[in-house]
Amino acid sequence: MSTTAPCSLQLVAMQSLLSNQSLAISALEDLPRLSFPEFFMEAYAQGHTEVVKAMVKCWPFPCLPLGDLTRPPDLGTMKAVLDGLEMLLATKERPSHWQLQVVELRKVYPNIWTRGYHSMARISHPGLLNARPTGSGRSQSSGEQPLWIFMDLTIDRFQNEWQDYLVQWARKRKQRVQLCSRKLQILTGSASTIQKALLLLRLDSIQELGLSKFSRGGTVKTLAPYLGYMKNLQLLSLSRMSASCYTRSPKDSCKFAAHLGQLHHLQELHLHDVLFSSENMPAILRSLKPLKTFSLSSCLLTEDNLRFLSLCSCTSQLKHLRLRSLLMLHFSPEPLQALLENGTHTLETLALEDCDITDSQLSALLPTLSRCSLLGFFSFYGNRLSVASLHNLLNHTAWLSHLTRGIYPAPLESYSVLDWWHRHIHADSWRFAQVRTGLSQMFREMGPNHKVQICTRFDHRTDRGQFYSLAPDGSWVLTQEALPVLSPLPL
């Protein structure tokens, strides 16, 4: 018999058995372990919630990977699953073949339901199953095996219906249930809502934390003490946050920074549309250990802020750096040059996008950029370059042996004088055609392993852009593509 899908006779037999729900439930005691995954899939797909509930209770494998089924559970199915878990928790003396310890609601095991019994039996979570809870304020009765639920949780005003039901269910059983979230998104400024969720979660299970849309004073102050318990946090993203939400006083910034300093595994920091005061950026970032990825976009950046970043230990060993939509038109080039100097032997991704960098600033940066020997991706669209400076930039990046893709701005000569400040419109077609003619030979000399593109239009709200590239036959190809993202780190 194939292990990739049930044969037609077996499928007919399962459907016949499921037509009598009581008979199907009574037959579970004698159902071969080999047949459990296929039978569960059929009961789940056909909405036989009572059978699903009974199967959860006597599930013969350590993990139930619900997230990898063809469709996510609706509220009725989730209630049936939780009712089955409730029955399992209430059973003090479980038969040896009742093995369930983990309910996995994320998509982490592709095709696990069609790969057969042996693959299902091999799923394990060795990293957390033997660990004690940290930071959640919960106790656990001695000798009791906890039930673990893994999910990616989003805390918002508009909760997912079954997620909200699951959280409420787990809160009532927090002595026996460990709720883990590798990715946690907090999209509400309600301090009480955030606190309730964090008191329920295994904080050391969180590896990625996104905080967004905070505007109320003291929200981050409420959150800050929990950060220190997120011992395995590797990515922190802050977006759309006003200064008042974490800077009621200088002491608040220092407290927030102190908790950030305890995140010894933090590798990525993304800041988007965060309003810093002149004092709190240094106070918050000074405590961080060296990062691998740093992204700063749509923030009100001062030259002093940039100078601080160039001196901060957190930017001393970067592999991936993005500065996007930051007004640097009147900045001295020295702070950015110093920041790049830190990464000459480590940077693999460099994106300096939509920052209004000028010819003179670029000229000062080029010697340092030329020494970024590991650079594999370079994005420089949305800056104020002449054709001559673009040629100079291409000449320098051509010598970077690891560089496989470069994105460059359409030079100023591609626009009418009045168009520059409205760069979301198309470049002037006649002017840009003349510019492309002058760039063709240089693009051909870049070599086949270096993908070179000119970005003539971009929209950060939709993360889409318009790109021109030179085809092997010498013609120019226009494409509409997603704007590039920073290389993700393996977590």
Question: Which percentage of the chain shows pLDDT scores above 70?
Answer: 87
Question: What is the pLDDT averaged over residues 391-406?
Answer: 93
Residue 253 has pLDDT above 90, yes or no: no
**pLDDT single digits (tens) 304-324:** 999 999 999 999 999 999 999
pLDDT band per the 50, 70, 90 thresholds, residue 118: confident
What pLDDT shows up at residue 131? 52
Three-state secondary structure call for residue 118: helix
| Phi and psi at residue 141, to the nearest 5° | -60, 140
Distance in angstroms (rounded) separating the CA atoms of residues 192 and 313: 34
Which is more confidently placed, 242 or 375?
375
Q: Specify which of 24-38, 216-230, 234-248, 272-286 reaches the highest per-range mean pLDDT.
A: 24-38
pLDDT band per the 50, 70, 90 thresholds, residue 296: very high
What pLDDT shows up at residue 450? 86
pLDDT band per the 50, 70, 90 thresholds, residue 251: low
What pLDDT shows up at residue 425? 59
Three-state secondary structure call for residue 366: helix
Helices and strands (H and E) in the chain: how many: 16, 17
Question: Which percentage of the chain shows pLDDT scores above 90?
Answer: 54
Q: Output the CA torsion sign for 7, 10, 16, 17.
A: negative
Question: What is the pLDDT averaged over residues 226-245?
Answer: 84
| 350 DSSP β-pair partners | 321, 378
**pLDDT single digits (tens) 55-69:** 999 999 999 999 999
| 63 DSSP β-pair partners | 102
| Phi and psi at residue 324, to the nearest 5° | -135, 140
Distance in angstroms (rounded) separating the CA atoms of residues 178 and 185: 18
pLDDT band per the 50, 70, 90 thresholds, residue 252: low
What pLDDT shows up at residue 129? 45
Question: What is the pLDDT averaged over residues 208-233?
Answer: 82
Spatial contact of 376 and 402, defined as CB atoms under 8 Å apart: yes
Spatial contact of 68 and 108, defined as CB atoms under 8 Å apart: yes
Question: What is the pLDDT averaged over residues 8-27?
Answer: 82
Residue 150 has pLDDT above 80, yes or no: yes
Q: What is each CA distance from 388 to 370, 423, 456, in whole angstroms?
A: 17, 20, 17
**pLDDT single digits (tens) 341-378:** 999 999 999 999 999 999 999 999 999 999 999 999 99
pLDDT band per the 50, 70, 90 thresholds, residue 135: low
Question: What is the pLDDT averaged over residues 236-255?
Answer: 68
Which is more confidently placed, 129 or 41?
41
Task: Choose among 413, 417, 406, 389: nearest CA to 443.
Answer: 406
Distance in angstroms (rounded) separating the CA atoms of residues 395 and 169: 62
What pLDDT shows up at residue 248? 52
Question: What is the pLDDT averaged over residues 21-48?
Answer: 89
Question: What is the pLDDT averaged over residues 175-201?
Answer: 89
| 358 DSSP β-pair partners | 384
Question: What is the pLDDT averaged over residues 168-172?
Answer: 93
Which is more confidently placed, 245 or 4?
245
pLDDT band per the 50, 70, 90 thresholds, residue 4: very low
Residue 137 has pLDDT above 50, yes or no: no
Which is more confidently placed, 278 or 123?
123
What pLDDT shows up at residue 184? 95
Distance in angstroms (rounded) separating the CA atoms of residues 355 and 358: 9
Residue 141 has pLDDT above 50, yes or no: no
What pLDDT shows up at residue 404? 93
HSE of 339, CA atoms in CB hemisphere, 13 A: 26
157: phi > 0 → left, psi -120 to 50 → alpha, else beta; which? alpha
| 180 DSSP β-pair partners | 150
Question: What is the pLDDT averaged over residues 134-143?
Answer: 49
Lowest mean pLDDT segment, chosen from 128-142, 263-277, 328-342, 423-437: 128-142
Distance in angstroms (rounded) separating the CA atoms of residues 146 and 75: 24
Q: What is each CA distance from 157 to 104, 185, 224, in whole angstroms?
A: 24, 12, 21
Residue 144 has pLDDT above 90, yes or no: no
What pLDDT shows up at residue 109? 92
H-type alpha helices, 91-157: 117-121
Distance in angstroms (rounded) separating the CA atoms of residues 320 and 485: 10
Spatial contact of 153 and 180, defined as CB atoms under 8 Å apart: no
Distance in angstroms (rounded) separating the CA atoms of residues 317 and 377: 17
| 127 DSSP β-pair partners | none
What pLDDT shows up at residue 280? 72
Question: What is the pLDDT averaged over residues 40-69?
Answer: 93
What pLDDT shows up at residue 19? 83
Question: What is the pLDDT averaged over residues 82-109?
Answer: 90
Terminal-residue alpha carbon distance, the chain: 37
Which is more confidently placed, 291 or 415?
291
**pLDDT single digits (tens) 418-468:** 555 555 556 788 899 999 999 998 888 887 788 999 999 898 889 999 999
